Chains A and B, each alone.
Chain A
Amino acid sequence: MRYLLAFACACIVLGSQDGGTYTISGTVTAGTSNKALRHVLVMITPTGTAGHPTSCVTGDDGRFSFAGLPAGKYSLSAQRPNSYWEGFRQTGNYSTAIVTGPGLDSTNIPFALAGRGSISGTVQDEENEQVRGAQVFLFHRGVFSGRVEAQVESVKNTDSSGGFHFGELRPGAYLIAVTGQPWYTQPAARKSSDPEFDVSYPITYYGGSTDADASTPILVEEGSSQTVEITLHAERSAHVDITAANGESDGPGWNVYAVGPNGTDVPVSPRFVPGADGRQMIAIAPGRYIFERSGKGRTTVDVRGDLAASALGSLPKTSISGKLSFEGPAPGTSARVSFVGPRRSLEPTLAQDGTFTLDGAAAGQYQVQLFGAAGYYVKSVSVGESAIAGGEVEVKAGATIHVSIVAAKGTTNIDGVAMRDGAPFAGAMVLLIPEDLGKTLLIRRDQSDSDGTFTLPEVAPGRYTLVAINDGGDLEYEQASVIAPYLKGGRTMLTPVTGDSRIKVNVLERRR
């Protein structure tokens, strides 16, 4: 009877794959509570190119079972109704696949879906009245892909009560920024000179600061519901003249951003107001802004009062031109390059002969990345006649540079096994770190599967150190000072690797 009951409630798929003899089974639970989750869609997909996914929905006991599987490696993922797919032991874009085969236990897997929390809040003005229609930006601040970032998690408008709500949030630290315009500044017929109505809200962070660096993080834990209040204070608007040099007004062509957490662009919606003599002005709260004309460049300006058109000047006409060429046969027409900066990437459109031009690029340091060319890597980068030894292209504001990129065939995949105490270890973060720690685009990462195996794809020739770290998902490994202590416990190698088809690496404990 107990067996029949369990069968009725469980998610069981029999003989779904080629009549094999292995089983992947387990229980889906909620966060760290160990509470079984009913009605969860669970799916396994054979890794590699062959095979089709198989799925079922858990019963009241949260159990799932896929029987009759041939030996192989399967990604395991689950989705609650109205939520997103989540891989088994997922960290960032990595998860642990389940391997079936002789001597491998792939049953009774505890599949804990990440817990969620929420942030609710209200936005009010200095008169304690709710601000409707303000834009609320939610940033998730943490370590993503080995570096600290503040990623925009969601953007919402406040409702009629000035309220907002962000649900289904992963545990972590969040920042909130609010932008908007006082509602009473909108009517166009009013005298723009009336100081009471010529006001704007500066970007305002939770904690009351208008500076991203001074914003107060909100910690969301599993199951927690945080409530916050944010008050906007209207300030006398500064007027920035955006009339073009030829006297024409092109307000709609301008985008204005506040400088957000970790240098992110936070779009603000300034008021475009008429100035004297047909001039076009932007009314905006004093602060630090990026003024951008689509495709024509951008500049960062500290706005402390009214600014004449000359303050924006002629935007620095930064331009990157160049050519992508291949050593030996080209891989086809799908190859693309990207200039990857710390905060943004630029992807030029390549002509058939590989030439490209990028106008209006932001100044900064960029690494060059190759896409759509499996088996190829960036062998050399030159600016003008000079080879770039460090791999980074420096783009100065207003400069015009010519970049020559040479790609060559020669990447390989590295297969290995993460080991601890002489046994394969599942769920470890595996990193391949280049000898030059500044070449972060060469870093390769994987997460060891249930049999400890991993694959690092598309490794360019060179000298590297292979490390495996337990519980290392939030390690800021792109920082040389952070990863350096682990390198001593890693395994150095020269790629392409010869002879050793499956490299073993010992799993290191995370340093706290």
Chain B
Amino acid sequence: MLLACMRDGIYLVLLFAILPGPGGCQQSGARYEATGTVVNLATGEPIKRALVMAGEESVFTGGDGHFKIENLPEGWVMLAAQKPGYFECATRYCEGGGLGHANLMVHSNLTDVVLKLAPESFIEGRITDENGDPVSNLQVSARCEVMSEGTRQFAQSGGATTDENGNYRIEGLWGGKYTVETMARPEFEFGSPGLGGAPFEMYPRLFYPNTPDAGAAQLLDLKPGQTARADFAMKTAPGIKIAGTVGPHFPWVSMVIEDESGEETSMNSQFNPQTGRFLLTVPAGTWTIHFGTNTSEGKAFTASVTVTAGSQNIDNLNVALEPVASVPLKVVGDTGGEEQPPVNVSLVARGKSRRGGFFGGGRFGKFSQNGLEIADVSPGKYSVRVSAPNRCIDSVTSGSLDLTQNDLEILSGSQTAPISVVLRSDCASLEATLPAESRTRLTYVVLVPASRAAGPQFVELSGGTNTMFSSLSPGEYQVYAFTSIDGLEYANPEAMREYSGQQVTLAANQKASVALKVITRGEEQ
């Protein structure tokens, strides 16, 4: 599950409890108190009227941020602070744990407890047209950089709409890196596009600073409590209507549009369930439109169409929805017999599209009436991931396609060849050893297999000097040790090229070891 960069409303909801002490220490009937201060992480200033909670006890801080909470029993207790407009952690990753709470052993009165809350950040700006007039009622969204299994992605984090003066303000953002983009829409929003022959103009989607190219979007690095400014100067462009009919009849159909680079974008769309007619308005260009719906029984239907919108409207695009694919699975062990779960085979969406696996939409193999299969897979490219306890991968194929090296492409309306997984039990293991000085710090050991089917993995070492990776398929691996993996694209070979790891080739049943140097990353660098 991906962590979002923004949370609304109350910024900390903890399930807190009086925890039993380590080793089951006996609690006495004694009661103690804790005193301390809640401060702003960014400024160090005290936060007044923050709520401090311990078990069922709650108090407000005073004007000086000070609190005193009583009636605490002996044992471990979680103290947590909250206040609207503040986060428990400085960033969405909450590296180093939350600062707004403390897990403390109570066996006497506690004093000088400091709880730190990170103030939310903002992105604000003004949007004007080519005459300097405000563009009102335009949606603006922020996407934050997130890492998912070593892959850099951008996730929707917050949004706002410009007021009649063209101003907007996106609230509730964690510290982090953000892109800002506007949503494309017709210039005259509440009229039918191009009605009556007047020129039909659109505001195109733009990324800050005023570029239509997502790759050229500037990253705004927001510190806690910081407000970044992102103004836009919009220029309208001719808009094109894409209209047609979707069949067979469904009560609703969703439409998702991607540009040529595979970036998903938001556009105005209409669908008439009575007639099946749809209408999209887009700036000129090449667009892929993904149509989708579900029956009341949960069966999914999709279709994807790529159109090039030039200067003419497209009025009769007929789209036929088809049942989404189910991909048969066959899992074979090295004894030749078919394996039963808990083998886990999943498809992870590839490319820039925000559809598919990245947001938890990964498809997992399971038994159905048709046998083992991965059901309801939308058209697109996927990498196939396999894991099985105490087993490793011999091969993963789809027909003649080697899925340890290639993506699986699901095409609309065509049957995909079964995914065949061959497991083996002669797995290798690898012990990674760190220098002695690693005892005193946090270190991350990252293992990147050459095979796509296994996927990279990492171990967080706190004060240790060695770790073991087991159930590894024979083959090639890169191994690294880092002081931080914050923002590290360890699943991206291009991004890892700047780091020198250890290359290891593992044979069947091999128990290998490797000595690693720790690569310093982040603020310590």
Q: Give me the interface of A with B, judged by CB distance under 8 Å.
A: 11, 13, 16, 39, 41, 43-45, 52-57, 79, 81-85, 116, 118, 127, 129, 132-133, 159-160, 165, 167-168, 183-184, 186-187, 189-191, 194, 196-197
Chain A residues within 8 Å of B137, by CB: 82
- Inter-chain contacts of A53 with B (CB < 8 A): 195-196
Binds A, one of B164-172, B289-297, B319-327, B471-479: B164-172
A159 touches B191 (CB 8 A): no
A43 near B195: Cβ-Cβ < 8 Å? yes
B9 & A133 in contact (Cβ 8 Å cutoff): yes
Q: Provide the bound-state CA to CA distance between A160 and B191, in Å.
A: 33
With A82-B135, A132-B85, A167-B164 known as contacts, the answer to whether A41 contacts B49 (CB < 8 A) is no
Q: Mark B376-396, 1 if CB is under 8 A from A, else 0.
A: 000000000000000000000
B367 at the interface (CB under 8 A from A): no
Residues A81 and B53 in contact in the complex (CB < 8 Å), given A43-B195, A132-B85: no
Query: Once bound together, how far apart are the Cα atoms of A189 and B53, in whole Å?
Result: 10
Least CB distance from A9 to B in Å reads 13
Q: A187 with B53: in contact, given A79-B190, A159-B169, A159-B171 (CB under 8 Å)?
A: yes
Question: Chain A contacts of B199 at CB under 8 A?
Answer: 57
Question: Which of A44, A116, A133, A160 counts the most chain B CB atoms within 10 A?
Answer: A160
In the complex, the answer to whether B15 meets A189 with C-beta atoms within 8 Å is: yes
CB distance from B313 to the nearest CB of A (A): 15
> Smallest distance from the beta carbon of A154 to chain B beta carbons, Å?
12
Q: Mark B422-446, 1 if CB is under 8 A from A, else 0.
A: 0000000000000000000000000
Query: When chains A and B are docked, how far (Å) is the Cα of A45 from the Cα of B198?
Result: 13
In the assembled complex, the CB of B373 is this many whole angstroms from the nearest CB of chain A, namely 36
Contacts of A41 in B (CB 8 A): 188, 191, 198
Question: CB distance A186 to B195 under 8 Å?
Answer: no
Report Cα–Cα, A41/B10, bound state, in Å.
44
- A55-B189 in contact (CB<8A): no
Whether the pair B164, A190 counts as a contact (CB closer than 8 A) is no
10 additional A-B pairs beyond A132-B85, A183-B10, beta carbons within 8 Å, are: A16-B197, A44-B196, A45-B196, A52-B196, A56-B197, A57-B199, A83-B190, A129-B49, A184-B51, A186-B9
Task: Determine the residue in chain B with the shortest Cβ distance to A55.
Answer: B196
- Cα–Cα, bound, A81→B185 (Å): 11
Q: Known contacts A132-B84, A190-B58: does B120 contact A160 (CB below 8 Å)?
A: yes
Chain B residues, CB < 8 A from A194 = 58
Give Cα A197–Cα B51 distance, bound, in whole angstroms. 10
Specify which of B56, B60, B129, B197 is in contact with A55 (CB 8 Å cutoff).
B197
In the complex formed, the residue of A with least CB distance to B59 is A196
Query: 26 A-B residue contacts at CB 8 Å?
Result: A39-B131, A41-B188, A43-B195, A54-B196, A55-B191, A57-B198, A79-B190, A81-B129, A82-B136, A82-B189, A84-B190, A132-B9, A132-B84, A133-B8, A133-B84, A159-B171, A165-B163, A167-B165, A183-B9, A183-B10, A184-B51, A184-B60, A187-B58, A189-B15, A189-B53, A194-B58
The answer to the question of B74 belonging to the interface, with a C-beta cut-off of 8 Å to chain A, is no
Quick check: is B25 within 8 A (CB to CB) of the other chain? no
B469: which A residues are within 8 A, CB to CB? none
Bound-complex Cα distance A132 to B58 (A)? 21
Q: Which of B169, B187, B198 contacts A81 (CB 8 A)?
A: B187
Report the nearest B residue to A44, measured CB to CB: B196
Q: Measured between alpha carbons, how far is A194 from B197 in the docked complex, in Å?
A: 66
Given A53-B196, A55-B195, A159-B169, decide whether A183 and B56 contact each other with a Cβ distance below 8 A: no
Contact of A190 with B188 in the complex, beta carbons under 8 Å: no
B281 to chain A: closest CB distance in Å?
15
Q: How far is the CA of A16 from the CA of B196 in the complex (A)?
A: 10
CB distance from B38 to the nearest CB of A (A): 13
CB < 8 Å neighbour of B163 from A129, A167, A187: A167
Residue-wise interface mask of B (12-56) relative to A, using a CB-CB cutoff of 8 A (1 in contact, 0 not): 010110000000000000000000000000000000010101011
Q: Is the CB of A160 within 8 A of B190?
A: no
Residues of A near B55 (CB, < 8 A) are 189
CA distance A463 to B187 in the complex (A): 49
A122 to chain B, nearest CB (A): 14
Q: Is the CB of B191 within 8 A of A79?
A: yes
Contact (Cβ within 8 A) A79 B85: no
Chain B 120-159: CB-based contact to A (< 8 A → 1; otherwise 0): 1010000001010101111000000000000000000000
CA distance A264 to B389 in the complex (A): 62
- The smallest C-beta distance from A222 to any residue of chain B, in angstroms, reads 14
CB pair B85–A55 under 8 Å, yes or no, is: no
Q: Is the CB of A167 within 8 A of B136?
A: yes
Residues of B within 8 A of A (CB): 8-10, 13, 15-16, 49, 51, 53, 55-56, 58, 60, 82, 84-85, 120, 122, 129, 131, 133, 135-138, 163-165, 169, 171-172, 187-191, 195-199
A79 touches B164 (CB 8 A): no
A54 and B9 contact, CB distance less than 8 A: no
Nearest-neighbour CB distance to chain B for A157, whole angstroms, equals 9
Our pick among A81, A183, A186, A196 for the contact of B188 (Cβ within 8 Å) is A81
Given A16-B197, A168-B164, A191-B56, is A79 in contact with B188 using a C-beta cutoff of 8 Å? yes
Question: Nearest-CB distance from B469 to chain A (Å)?
Answer: 40
Cβ distance B177 to chain A, nearest Cβ, rounded Å: 21
**Chain B contacts for A82, CB-based, 8 A:** 135-138, 164, 188-190
B198 touches A56 (CB 8 A): yes
Chain B residues within an 8 Å CB radius of A184: 51, 58, 60
* Docked complex Cα distance between A13 and B129 (Å): 25
Min C-beta distance of B5 to chain A, whole Å? 15
Report how far A183 CA is from B11 CA in the complex, Å.
10
Residues of A close to B53: CB separation below 8 A:
187, 189-190
Closest A residue to B50 using CB positions: A184
How far, in whole Å, are A186 and B83 apart by their CA atoms in the complex? 11
Closest to B236 in A: A81
Determine the distance from Cα of A196 to Cα of B49 in the docked complex, in whole angstroms: 13
Smallest CB separation, B411 vs chain A (Å): 41
Q: In the bound complex, how far is the Cα of B51 from the Cα of A248, in angstroms?
A: 34
Cross-chain contact A190 with B56 (CB below 8 angstroms): yes
Chain B positions within 8 Å of A190 at CB level: 53, 56, 58
B206 to chain A, nearest CB (A): 16
Residues of A within 8 A of B164 (CB): 82, 116, 118, 167-168
User: Which chain B residues lie closer than 8 Å to A45 at the CB level?
Assistant: 196
Query: A38's closest neighbor in chain B, by CB?
Result: B131
- A52 CA / B13 CA spacing, docked (Å): 57
Closest to B185 in A: A82
Residues of chain A with a CB closer than 8 A to B58's CB: 184, 187, 190, 194, 196-197
Nearest chain B residue, comparing its CB with the CB of A52 = B196
Give the nearest-CB partner of A165 in chain B: B163
B189:A183 contact, CB within 8 angstroms: no
Residue from A81, A129, A159, A186 within 8 A of B10 (CB atoms): A186
Known: A79-B191, A132-B85, A167-B163. A189 touches B56 (CB 8 A): yes
Q: Is the CB of A54 within 8 A of B136?
A: no
Q: Give the chain A neighbours of B9 by CB distance below 8 A.
A: 132-133, 183, 186
Chain A to chain B: the 8 pairs with minimum beta-carbon distance, closest first: A55-B196, A167-B164, A53-B196, A55-B198, A82-B137, A82-B136, A160-B171, A191-B56
Chain B residues with CB below 8 A from A132, complex form: 9, 84-85
Which of B60, B122, B164 counts the most chain A CB atoms within 10 A?
A: B164
Closest to B137 in A: A82
Q: In the complex the two chains form, what is the Cα distance from A165 to B169 in whole Å? A: 12
Question: Do A127 and B187 touch across chains, with their CB atoms under 8 A apart?
Answer: no
| Bound: A54/B189 CA distance, A | 17
B163 proximity list for chain A (CB < 8 A): 165, 167
With A127-B49, A184-B51, A197-B58 known as contacts, the answer to whether A189 contacts B196 (CB < 8 A) is no
* Complex: A150 Cα to B416 Cα, angstroms: 60
> Is B169 a contact partner of A186 (Cβ separation < 8 A)?
no
Residues of A within 8 A of B169 (CB): 159
Distance of B20 from chain A, by nearest CB (Å):
17
**Complex alpha-carbon distance, A53 and B198, angstroms:** 10
A170 to B197, CA, bound (A): 29
Across the interface, name the chain B residue whose C-beta is closest to A127: B49
CA A168 to CA B161, docked complex, whole Å: 14
